[in-house]
Structure 1
Amino acid sequence: MRVVSPALLLLAACGPAIHVPPPERVARVERPGREVELCVLMQERAVRPIWQGCAEASLAPWQFAIASVLVKHPAGLVVLDPAFGRGIESDLQRAGVVSRLAFGEARTKKPLVDVLEAAGVDPADVRYALATHVHWDHVGALGDLPNARVLIARPELEFARPLRRGMETGVMPHHLKRAKRRTFAFDFTGPPVEAFASSFDFFGDGAVVAVPMPGHTPGSTAFLVRSAGKTWLFSGDTSWTSRGVELPAHKTVPVDSDREQLAGQLGLLHAYLQHRPDVVVVPAHDATALELLPPCAPGK
């Protein structure tokens, strides 16, 4: 019997080839936007080893995070990716063996509402909740934000609504059901912005603009936000780390709904960063990138 080396097994996670588009594909589309204040709501931080993909044959420490981002807009408070809810312990029990191994114990995690309250924010004052995608660790707190209007890309809602179980898909439908009457779909009917072919401007002022980023899930979304003189791109789980965009490289394990499509997004993000090194790409689980934002705190 032939013995397969661990290195070959790890290389199997590399996935489809990532093609980086030419510079003309990522030429900037000028669209100035209102600046808003941002801060991070950290709900878990840990250090884990991660395979950086076939572009870099090594294990490297991953500064892992679960977090939400608070946007202070004149129209009201916005939470990007309302992550862990009060039911985090039962969520982990539902999640299956792989997720439990990946996420660890509930005692190391803080529900979003606790982090909001510690920052001096009443969860009832949050007016909008936006999700990069509907995996349970990105929408677990939807039901804990009673007055928030939930806005999710239509392809992502269409992906999620027929699902009844979350073990295989990463989706736990009860989170969406708790906010069903407050949930609305949006379409990418807006013009090109930055490197992206279409967009949706939530407030019509360029402050928070969604762009399509399918691959990890069918309707995955990224958010462009202007703050502190910079453009921030919150890219969800397209890559778990900034390093995955810089290389570019696939994730450690194949957890994406369409890896060919995701490879295209990684190539686009990589080219975009080369063309616009001033843009800050923030993967949803990269603590180092998230901590470039100030922590939310009372009076700030």
Structure 2
Amino acid sequence: MKIKRYLPIVFFLATSLIQFCISVGNPDRETFHPPEQKQSQNWQTILQKNQSITDFTIFHTGSVEVPLSGMINLDDPKLKGEKDKRIFVDVYSFWFCHKLQGCFLIDSGLDSSFQKGGNLKGLISSYYISDTKQSPGQDITSHLNRKGKLLKAVYFTHLHGDHTAGVPGLPKGTDFYAGAKEEYINYWPIYYGGHLDTLKQLKEIDSSQGMEMPILGRVIDVFGDGSFFAIPTPGHSNSHLSYLVVSDRGTYLFTGDASHTYRGFLLGVESGWQDNRKQAKNSLEKLRNFAAANPQVKVIPGHELPPGIFAGEQKIGIGSK
């Protein structure tokens, strides 16, 4: 009888602990209100070289060791017989500047702690990332210092640790954007990094405020001039975003972890780690259909560059190094 008496108290304490673990370090959210969205557009009109976006660079910020089964779904019949193993995958951050809006990153890369194991901790962290590689000067802060330009904001594809790990190395005053209600993976003491602890606010991109476009559905024209689009691609995370950049060097589709690898994108095999596998398959197929209909678009998956695309601190393009 005494045990039953205390069950509500135990339940309350357990629930409170779970809520604390989920909410710790999670910044306040506010809705991003985009410029007026133009309607009745077609991609052929939009996907011309846009002179508004320049200085477009891929930052390679280090590598992390993860299971292959997390990067690509080994249960897919197309990969029958392939065995799981630990592999090193590259972690990128993507820099671009808009002539009127300023300079931005897609995802934050890795900070300098990844020269010595990184800033992801917790009881199960070693399952996801068991080792790290990073050369001196490869961290996101060093890349930005060499650019010598003010970083205005970071647009996250999602809020998993390998995409937020560079935030501690970014300048104060930087703004941050993510998908509406995107879950922040920071579960102390299970798996956490505290990457967003110092953020006062996270701005949420709500695709319902966007415009309906062929193949991709409702997207957000972030600057209102057809140069930078946020594309909802849920599945790997609940409110994952991919991004389309129309620059003076051509158009680039950044899948984020809607497709970790270029091989997975070509084969139509989604990533192994998914929040919702049905959504993940649908999101990947949507991006693949868009790329097939617009072959001039250069596809850049989350952790593997396709042939002919290279990281480096100069403008990038097919065949550049």
Specify the TM-score bucket, using the shorter chain as the normaliser.
0.7 to 0.9
1:261 aligns with 2:288: no
Q: Residue in 1 aligned with 2:269?
A: 249
**Residue 166 of structure 1, CA deviation:** 7.4
TM-score by length of 1: 0.74
Distance 1:227 1:166 in 2: 42
**Pairwise mapping of residues 119-134 of structure 1 onto structure 2 (< 5 A)?**
119-121=146-148, 125-134=150-159
Q: Residue in 2 aligned with 1:295?
A: 312
CA pair 240-224 structure 1, distance change in 2 beyond 3 A: same
* Cα RMSD (Å): 3.2
Q: Residue in 2 aligned with 1:10?
A: none
Q: Could you give the per-residue CA deviations for residues 189-245 of structure 1, whole angstroms, max 9, x where no partner exists?
A: 111235211111221111111010100000100111012452211010011112212
TM-score by length of 2: 0.69
Distance 1:70 1:154 in 2: 23
**Residue 54 of structure 1, CA deviation:** 2.4
**Pairwise mapping of residues 80-95 of structure 1 onto structure 2 (< 5 A)?**
80-88=106-114, 89-94=117-122
**Residue 80 of structure 1, CA deviation:** 0.6
Q: Residue in 1 aligned with 2:129?
A: 100
CA pair 230-63 structure 1, distance change in 2 beyond 3 A: farther
Contact (CA 8 Å) 1:45, 1:287: kept in 2 or not?
no
Give the match's secondary structure for 1:272: helix
CA pair 194-71 structure 1, distance change in 2 beyond 3 A: farther
Contact (CA 8 Å) 2:61, 2:134: kept in 1 or not?
no
Q: Could you give the per-residue CA deviations for residues 132-179 of structure 1, whole angstroms, max 9, x where no partner exists?
A: 0001111122232312111111131xx228x533746xxx46212222
Larger Rg: 2
CA pair 107-141 structure 1, distance change in 2 beyond 3 A: closer
Please point out which of 214, 219, 222 is paired with 2:242: 222
Letter in 2 for 1:160: Y
Contact (CA 8 Å) 1:83, 1:136: kept in 2 or not?
no
Contact (CA 8 Å) 2:95, 2:106: kept in 1 or not?
yes
1:111 aligns with 2:128: no
Q: Which runs of 5+ in 1 are unaligned?
A: 1-26
Contact (CA 8 Å) 2:63, 2:132: kept in 1 or not?
no
Distance 2:293 2:46 in 1: 17
Give the match's secondary structure for 2:252: strand
**Residue 120 of structure 1, CA deviation:** 3.0
Q: Residue in 1 aligned with 2:203?
A: 184
Q: Could you give the per-residue CA deviations for residues 111-145 of structure 1, whole angstroms, max 9, x where no partner exists?
A: 2102222x3335xx100111000011111222323
After superposing on structure 2, the runs of 4+ consecutive aligned residues of structure 1 that deviate more than 6 Å are 46-49, 60-63
Distance 2:189 2:305 in 1: 25
Alignment size in residue pairs: 257
